[in-house]
Amino acid sequence: MRGRNAAALAAATVVSAMLVAAAAPARADLVDEAWKRGNDAYFRGDFEAAVAAYEQIDRQGVISSDLYYNLGAAYFRQGSLGRAIWSFERAAALEPDDDDARFNLAQARRLADRRARDKIEGGDRDPFWIRAVTALPSSVETWLFVALYLAAFAAVFARRRASGAPRVALGAGAGILGFAALAAGLLLAGRATLDRVGFGIVLPDVVAVKEGADPNYRTSFELHAGLRVRLLERDADWLRIRLSNGLDGWVREQDVGRL
């Protein structure tokens, strides 16, 4: 019995350590310093310095809706509406209940539409699996999976020590929790698939979509800042994108911000 407890304790310790390590990939002091520097620059109207500071944090792999929100605001003040929309979209995706992010996103989109608007004829909705995967924020999906998964294994461990009716109940509970964890895991796997291809936002005011992954190919059509496109594949520094109506083409990777 002592051995079982020790193994379960060791597993819990490992999981906790992993969670802590995953949560803080970048040095907190450097991140907070850049965060403060960006906010100070924004308030004194130096939006270029604010963008530089926020982008520095972004490059360190920090995922934060506040970071994306402020970065979007700084881009907006610079007049980079495509990048502002992209950042506000990222903030809203992380925190769908963030009213500020949704408001600013709408403002940026409204202003971008004044410049130019892409009307997609015959546009269709996203496939069902994409809508299912993106129905919940990624953090909710992650925590749901982790909680269900660990609970299922806790039930399995407890079942080994139990006997009689509790043992049966714990077995059934472990099965139900495992099934739920599997469903949450599938959502996460879909999310990871979307991360690899997924969606992007057109960043420049106007971008020429080529027939192939080279600037010398003929321009098929043009897109404007803020349009959401699906990313299909990558060839060197080119991305193949597809619109909601099935039209597709190639753009430079730097012209599309991944969501």
Partner 1 sequence: MALVLASAAVAPSSRALAQAQAPSFTASADPSQVALDEAFVYEVTLTFAGGDLESYQAPDFKDLRVLSQTPRPSSQMQMSWGGGRNFVQHTYTWRYELAPLRKGNVVIGPARARLDGRELRTGGVTVSVSAAGAAPPLPPPASFSGGGPGAAGGSFLRVAPDKVKVYVGEQVTVGWFLYITQRMDKYQTLGEPRIDAFWTEDLPIPNMRQGLSLTQEMLGGRTYEVAPVLKKALFPLQPGATVIGPMEAEIAQVDFFGASVRSQRVKSDPVTIEALPLPTAGRPRGFDAANVGRYSIGATVDRATVAVGEAVTVKLEIRGQGNVRNLRPPTLGAPDGWKLYEPRVSVTIDPGDIISGAKTVEYLMLPERVGITTLAAFELAAFDPQSRTYKVERSAPLRIEVTGGAGVAVGAGASAPSGPGTRTGTTSPRAGSSAAPGGAGSPGGAPVENVLPAEIRPIHARPSLRRDIGAALYRSPFFFGVVAAPPVAYVLVVLVSRLRERLGKDTARRRRRRVRRLVRQRLGAAEAHMGAGRPVPFFIEMDRVLRDSLSVRLGRPVTGLRMDELRALLLERSMPPELTDRLLAELEACDQGRFAPGSLPVDALGAVLDRAGELILVVEKTPLRDEARP
Contacts of residue 97, Cβ cutoff 8 Å, sequence gap at least 6: none
Distant-in-sequence, close-in-space partners of 50: CB < 8 Å, separation ≥ 6: 38, 39, 41, 42, 70, 74, 77
Q: Which is nearer to partner 1, 123 or 215 (CB)?
A: 215
Separation of alpha carbons 120 and 16, rounded Å? 47
CB of 131 to partner 1, least distance (A): 19
Give the shortest CB-46-to-partner 1 separation in angstroms. Answer: 13
Which amino acid is residue 48, in one-letter code?
E
Strand partners, 205: none
* Nearer residue to partner 1 within complex by CB, 19 or 232: 19
In the bound state with partner 1, the residue whose beta carbon lies nearer, of 80 and 239, is 80
Parallel/antiparallel/unpaired status of strands 256-258 and 248-252: unpaired
Q: In the complex, what is the shortest distance from the CB of residue 5 to partner 1, in angstroms, rounded to a whole number?
A: 9
- Cα distances (Å, whole numbers) of residue 3 to 7, 9, 45: 6, 10, 62
Smallest gap from Cβ 99 to partner 1, in A, equals 9
Provide, rounded to whole angstroms, the least separation between the CB of residue 221 and partner 1.
12
52/157 with CB nearer partner 1: 157
Nearer of residues 124 and 214 to partner 1, judged by Cβ? 214
Q: How far is CA 111 from CA 34, 90, 140, in A?
A: 29, 18, 32
